[in-house]
Amino acid sequence: MNILITGGCGFVGSNLAIYLKKNIKNSKVFSLDNLSRNGSQVNKNRLKSNHIKNFNLDINSKKILSLKKFDFIIDCCAEPAIEESIKNPNKVFNANLVGTFNILKKVQKDKSKIIFLSTSRVYSINKLNKIVKKKNIKKKIVSKIKIDHSFSNESPISLYGFSKLASEMLIKEYSYMYNIKYIINRLGVISGPWQFGKVDQGFASLWVERHMNKKKLFYKGYGGHGNQVRDLIHIDDVCEIILKQIKKINLIYNMSFDIGGGINNSINLKQLTKKCQNITNNKIKIYKERNTSIFDIPYFVSDNKKIKKVYKWKQKKNIDKIITDIFYWLKKNKKILKGYF
C-alpha cells in the first residue's frame, strides 16, 4: 500500500507517517511538505531516519500529478493559525482550500481514497460564545455541552474555518462526481511530542516549555482570567483512529466525524498552569492580556460519541499523560529543540 501524507513534516503529519509505517505491513509511506513551517526540518530528519521520503513540494504544485500512484492520500496540510487569516488571507486560502482542490485532482487520477483532516473551527463563533454566560467568564466556565456535526456552521467561523469547511464540501462533490471514498475528521486540540507550540496552536506544548524554562506567559482574552476551556487529545490517539479508518475504508466510508478529548479531557488555562507547575516544579508569573480576539471562543469540547460507536474506539491517553509526554520529550531533546520555541 502506497500512502501519501500532505503536510508530512508538520506535527500531525510526521507523527502519523511514522506510526503508519510501523503499523501497516508492507506499506510505503511518503510525505509531501514544502518545509515552510517552524520545526519542519527537524521532522523531515525524523522521517528520514524512519525511511520515509519527503517530496519537497508546495501543496499547489502541478508536479504532484506526476508523482507515483497512491492508494491513500491523507491530507494533513493546512495553514492553521487563526490570526494568520487576518494578516494573510491569501496564504490561508491557498494552503487550505486551493491546496485541497489540487490534491483532489491527484486523488481522482489515481483513484485513491482520501482522509481529510478538518477542524473544530468550522463551527459558529457566535453560537459558541453564547454557550457561556458573560458573568461566568471571570469565575469558572462550566458546561456539559459537547459539539458535534449538528452544531451551527453559521458565520463567522474565521477564514481558516471557512476554508476547511469549503474543502469538506469540495471533497463531497468530488466523491459524488468521481466515486471517491473519503473520510472527514473534524479534529479538536491535538497535543503531544513534536509539536512546536505557539499561542494560537499547540498551546499545551508552549505552556509546558514556558514553565520548564521560566519564560513569560499570558492569559489572553476574556479579561485575562485564563478560564477558556478546550478538550485535548493525544497525537497517538489520533494516529490510532486514522489507522482504524484506513483498515476499514471499504466498509466505512463517505462519513464525517468529530474527534477530540471530550468532557473528561477538557481543561482551562488555569488548570493547565497548575499541572505544568507540578511537573516542572517551577512557578512563573502569568500576565493578563484582557482584549479578546474576534476569533476567540470561551469554550469548546468535542462530542466523540459517533466515532466511538462506529469504530469501537476510545482514547487511551488523558491530559496528565499528554503533559507528561510533552515534558519528557522537551527534556530529552533540548539540543535539537533549541531556538524553536
pLDDT digits 0-9 by tens, 267-306: 999 999 999 999 999 999 999 999 998 889 999 999 999 9
Residue 83 confidence (pLDDT): 76
Q: Are 35 and 106 in contact (CB under 8 A)?
A: no
pLDDT beyond 90 at 242: yes
Per-residue pLDDT tens digits for 63-92: 999 999 999 999 999 887 777 778 888 988
Task: Give dist(CA 97, CA 92) in Å, integer.
Answer: 8
> Mean per-residue pLDDT for 162-183?
97
Residue 329 confidence (pLDDT): 96
Topology given in CATH for the domain delimited by 2-134+142-195+233-265+297-316: Rossmann fold (3.40.50)
pLDDT beyond 60 at 141: yes
Residue 73 confidence (pLDDT): 98
Give the amino acid at 330.
L
The candidate with the shortest Cα–Cα distance to 82, out of 202, 216, 262, is: 202
Torsion angle of alpha carbons 114, 119, 125, 128, nearest 10°?
110
Residue 78 confidence (pLDDT): 86
Locus of grid cell 471557512: 162
Residue 87 confidence (pLDDT): 83
Per-residue pLDDT tens digits for 178-218: 999 999 999 999 999 999 866 556 899 999 999 999 999 99
- Cis before 156? omega within 30: yes
Residue 271 confidence (pLDDT): 96
* CA-derived radius of gyration, the chain: 19
